[in-house]
Amino acid sequence: MKATAIAPANIAFIKYWGKSDEAQRLPVNSSVSMNLSEAYTTTTVEFSKQLSHDDIIFLSDDSSANNKRPHKVNELENSTNRKEVDRVISHLDRIRTRFQVNERAKVMTKNSFPAGAGIASSASGFAALSVASTAALGQKMSEKELSILARLGSGSACRSIPDGFVLWEKGTSSDTSFARSIFPSSHWKILDIIAVVEKAGKKVSSSEGMTGVRTSPFFQARLQTLPPRMATLVEAIKKKDFAIFGSTAEEECLNMHAVMMTQDPPAFYWNDNTVKIMLEIMNWRTQGLSAYFTIDAGPNVHVMCEEKERDIILGKIQQISGVERIIVNCPAIGAHLVDAHLF
Ligand code: PMV
């Protein structure tokens, strides 16, 4: 009754912003992402008749696992953490209802990236929780079923289930809205270098922010431009054409942020360092370097480049003031079970 899973975070090149069904977490558009090798969540789940309530324990990262007491649910004062715990328990309820079990669970979860690095953990977190929980109950689910289950926890989590480069088809119902691998992680060794410029969590969560998507006058225009942009991006990944891939991903990022900023109220996620790095990257290209950016619902900048330019681009990012931490990722496999449990 105990199982442990590791699931990667993912970075979207065609972004998910807006739902057509809030309860089922169906997106208004399909999206494409890549799993990240150095940003992942490890989660151990054990269901037990002995437990009277769910016990959710967050270990903030490797260092805290060694020298600090785990952060336990009843010690959580901060309302963001309280919300996270409630979302975990709702997901466990969803799984219990599905498999008709009543046992409460002990859940211990740890991110490879430090808490407060400004890296969203909901995708990796709900993917790992889905895989570990179903295995702990002795249930076998297909990749498609796990992707659907993870999506119900957090939309982008469905993309952390399959391997490598992933496409989430928006679908028309819960059963048809899931992610699949379009290329394995070994297909193309491109890098996603995360320049962390703010460690604090976001003020407006993506779930909250995207409820306003229809108030942007650019929403319909975005929907119209998405299918051809996605086709161009997938073809560029297939052909390993980095310039087309990078410029398409950058165009998509700016398109999504234009919608975010013109919502009512605006969902504005950048800070001054975000803009500084974006301008730097554009400038590097005039010097012959091939680097592009993408940004999610937060200020950190994901710098994409090819392996051959890794050192020069890493050196340039290190020189930018305001960059607090750098995480270098290559494409990774999807969520999977592991033998080493956290407890
Ligand atoms: O699944 P959520 O609620 O974490 O939403 C993710 C939204 C973006 O990160 C902004 C875009 C995406 O597709 O990952």
Q: Where does the pLDDT of residue 204 fall: very low under 50, low under 70, confident under 90, or very high at 90 and above?
A: confident
Ligand 1 site, residue 252, Cβ cutoff 6 A: no
Cα atoms in the Cβ-side hemisphere of radius 13 Å centred on 101: 19
User: Which residues have C-beta within 8 Å of that of residue 75, sequence separation ≥ 6?
Assistant: none
Q: Where does the pLDDT of residue 193 fall: very low under 50, low under 70, confident under 90, or very high at 90 and above?
A: very high
Express each pLDDT in 94-109 by its tens digit.
Answer: 999 999 999 999 999 9
The mean predicted confidence, pLDDT, of the chain is 93
> Distance between CA atoms of 149 and 341, rounded to whole angstroms?
22
Cis upstream peptide for 227 (omega within 30°): no
Ligand 1 site, residue 297, Cβ cutoff 6 A: yes
Ligand 1 site, residue 155, Cβ cutoff 6 A: yes
User: Does residue 21 sit in helix, strand or coil?
Assistant: strand
In this predicted structure, what is the pLDDT of residue 292? Answer: 98
In this predicted structure, what is the pLDDT of residue 68? Answer: 45
Give the predicted TM-score (pTM) of the model. 0.94
What percentage of residues in the chain have a pLDDT greater than 70? Answer: 92
User: Sign of the C-alpha dihedral, residues 37, 235, 250, 189?
Assistant: positive
From the CA of 113, how far away is ligand 1's center (Å)?
18
The residues pairing with 6 across neighbouring beta strands, listed in sequence order, are 42, 336
Express each pLDDT in 52-88 by its tens digit.
Answer: 999 999 997 654 444 444 455 444 445 667 888 999 9
In this predicted structure, what is the pLDDT of residue 176? Answer: 98
In this predicted structure, what is the pLDDT of residue 81? Answer: 78
Residue 251 has pLDDT above 70, yes or no: yes
Express each pLDDT in 301-315 by its tens digit.
Answer: 999 999 999 999 999
